[in-house]
Every structure is written in C-alpha cells, then in structure tokens.
Amino acid sequence: MSHTVVKAQAIATGPRKGEEKPVRLLPIPLSATPAEIQALIDRHHNVYFGPGNYGIGNLRLEKGQKGLIWGAGRLTTTLTGSITISGSRELVLGNFNLSHTAAKGAAVIEVVGKAAADLTLLNTLVSAGNGGVGIRVKAPGRFTIQGCNPKWSDIGISIEHPAAAVYVFGGNLQYNRLHIQQVQGHLDARAFGMQGVRGEADIVIRSPSPGGYHVLEGIRTEGNNSANAIEALLNVPQTNEKVNVMLRANTLGNMVRYANYGANGNLILLENANLPGPEDKSSVGVTTEERAKANIISLGNKYGLSYDEAQGPFLVGKRTTVRSIGDLWMLPNKTDYTKPFNEPITTAAMSRAGKTVSSNSSFLAP
C-alpha cells in the first residue's frame, strides 16, 4: 500500500487549535481491508478516504486519539460499517457517507467510556436502518454535529450521558422514528431542517440539562406531513423533574405543535411561527400533561389555526400556568383558510372565539 502523504485542503474548523498549521493526510487505499484501515489510522491519525466505497468493519478510535478522518464528499465517499470512539480528544470526522444496517438499539457512530471526549462531526450522512441509532453519545465531553444528515434510522441522534454537551447545527434530519433523543446531558440544537418523522415528535427531551436550559432555535420542521394528529416539534414525557427548555425562532408547518410538555419546569417560547398548510384546519400550539406543574412563557409567537375543532392555542392541565404576551393566532373562519386572519391572542379574543380562558392563564397584548 502506498504511504504517499498529501496536504489537506484548509477546513474552517480545523483539527488543531493552531489552524494556520497545515494538516497532512494519509490516503487510504480503496482496496484496503477493515484490518488494514484500522492499522493505518492507529499509526497515522490523519487520513483521507478518496472517492469510492470502503468497508471499514467496526472502526475503533480510542486511547486519547486525536486527528482528522476526512472523505472526498458525502455523495462521493461511502463507508460501510460502524465507528466506536472512546476517550478521543480533538478528533474531527466527516465529509463522507457512513451506513450500517445496525441491529435494534445498536449505533453506527457511538461514543463510549469514562474519559471526556472532544469530537466534531462535519458534513456526514449517517444511516442505521429502521432498528438502529445513527449517532449515540454515551460518554462525557463536548460534541459538535455540524451540517450532518442522520436519516433512515430508529433514532437519528441519541444523547445518553449526564456530562455530555451536544451541539447540533446545520444539516437536515429525515425519516427517523425520532430525529433527536436526549436521555441525559445537554442539548443545544440550532439552524437545521427536519422531515418525515415517524414517531410522536421530532425531538424528545427526557431529563434536565446540567447547564440550565435545553435550546432549540432556528429549526424548520415539516413533522410527518399531518400523518399524526398530535405530532410536535418537542415532546417532554411525564416526569417530576424540572426540565427547562427554550424554543426560539423555529418554523413549523403541516399542523405541527410546538410542544407536548409533561415536566415540572419552564417552557419558554420566543418568536416561533406555525405556518399551516391549506388542509390544516385545526391546531393546538402547546399541551401539557394533567399532572405537570409547568410554567409556560410565550412571547411573540405565531400560532396556527387555533379555532373550530381546536380548544385553543394552549391545552394545559390545572397545575400549569400560561403567560402569553404578543402572540398571534387565526380568527375564527370556516370558509377561507388561505387568508392570514391574524390578531393578538387576548382574553377578549379568546372569549369572542368561544374559548374558555382558565384562571391560570393570561393573555396580554404587547
């Protein structure tokens, strides 16, 4: 096998703190076996997969390994297999298509171990099949997933360690049962698209963030195209824990709710927009579990067609308080669903529409 060293093109993020230093990549031969690929990466750390298809088996990156593992493009370089990462620091992977028909519950990219990791995944298409997980984090550390496309998996991204901080931005998530699941740790998700979710919500958050608030910002979602009447951007299942979440500047379509919330915490909604399709004649914006002692603060949001069959923009339990300031909704209208009949949600507007305003809810104009 040739060990010719070539210079990598400059990358905006870079695998080293000193980005002015050139990174030299070792080309992986297209004919290399999984064992040969593993040996080359163990020795050289900075490697390049050119155009073509590579069988990598279960590639293991461990023992504090640093470096850059780079492809020629996610539509050009295809890796078949899985990657397990343990204790790696300042490791950057990306620019390839990684697929593996994982068994139910198994992951294509999995980070494990007790040592804190520092991983950046860039411009990568990841698919695990209907039973597996695209990217799973089960280790402490900081993880950046940028411009990636986890798709055709049971779960696209799963965060499962209390000391994991995962930052997802850019890219697109498609055709997963759940696009993102947080079991433990912190989630910061911004500026990407989602389509074709097959479960109850695009994103499921199950526990508090160690850093305060989980953040979902600048996300565009199509839900599952109205296939599920209660589909939502966010689902927080019933729990007695204080799970704080902020939704900011997200765009929803096709009758997607902002949130189904079941925790004893704060749900803050700022400047989100629900843009229903012409056939979507009814939509509730936020629901809470009956037992949830939740505090909802909604400021400057555009709610969907919250009239007719819908009980209102907020369908909440008796222990939930709602403070709505400067939110917009659609006026009652049963004949023309294409006109933007928006007005501020106030107690008077709710009453005119035949809705009941509970004693624990208030609606204020700005």
Task: With CA atoms as reference, report the closest residue to 290 among 258, 319, 266.
Answer: 319
Q: Domain segments of the chain: what residues?
A: 234-366
pLDDT digits (tens, 9 = 90+) for 81-138: 999 999 888 899 999 999 998 778 899 999 999 999 999 999 999 999 888 999 999 9
What is the distance of C-alpha 177 from the center of its chain? 12
CA distances 153 to 84, 168, 169, 189, 199, Å, are 17, 17, 19, 19, 12
pLDDT digits (tens, 9 = 90+) for 260-302: 999 999 999 999 998 776 666 566 789 999 889 999 999 999 9
Query: Are residues 274 and 302 in contact, defined by beta-carbon separation less than 8 angstroms?
Result: yes
pTM, two decimals, is 0.91
What is the distance of C-alpha 12 from the center of its chain? 23
**Longest Cα separation, the chain:** 77
pLDDT digits (tens, 9 = 90+) for 307-353: 556 677 888 999 999 999 999 886 655 666 555 567 788 888 788 77
Distance CA 167, CA 90 (A): 15
- How many Cβ atoms from other residues are within 10 Å of residue 267's Cβ? 26
Question: What is the secondary structure of 256-310 as a DSSP string?
Answer: -EEEEE-SSSEEEEES-EEE--TT-----SEEE-TT---EEEEES-B----STTS
Q: How deeply is 169 buried, as exposed, middle or buried, from its count of CB atoms within 10 A (0-12, 13-18, 19+)? A: middle
